[in-house]
Amino acid sequence: MSDNLELLIIISTPESGDIANELGKAARRRDINWAVFFTNDGVLTLADREFAKTVSSASQAIVCQESWQHHMAACDCPVELGSQTNNSALASKAQHIVSL
């Protein structure tokens, strides 16, 4: 896997979970260095166990802490808690960004 961040997937809606899951699986198959950032009610996609498994293959998986607290506070977060600053940092390193 390359040290360069080739793909950043930003998930901001729960409806994007299926698409993001397939993109993540494809990135894993192609050995692409990818990361994912969850914000707004896109954090709800992490309730899907299959998708959470796919996310575990990302080089970085970060969720906006405020979004997590607003939508999923009763659950343990399966990825790193962060902020929009993390999102910006990932975006600055990514060769390609897909925002869902």
Read off the pLDDT of residues 71-85 as tens digits, 9 standing for 90 and up.
999 999 999 999 999
pTM score > 0.85 for this model? yes
| Domain assignment of residue 1, yes or no | no
Considering the domain boundaries, does residue 2 fall inside one?
no
Q: How far apart are CA 21 and CA 50, in angstroms?
A: 8
Domain of residue 26: give its range.
Answer: 7-99
Return the residue matching tokens 């897909």. 98
Say yes or no to pLDDT of 17 above 80. Answer: yes
CATH number at 20 reads 3.40.1260.10
Domain count, the chain: 1
Confidence bin at 58 (pLDDT 50/70/90): very high
Helices (H), the chain: 17-29, 49-55, 65-72, 84-93
CB atoms closer than 10 angstroms to residue 11:
27
Does residue 97 carry a pLDDT above 50? yes
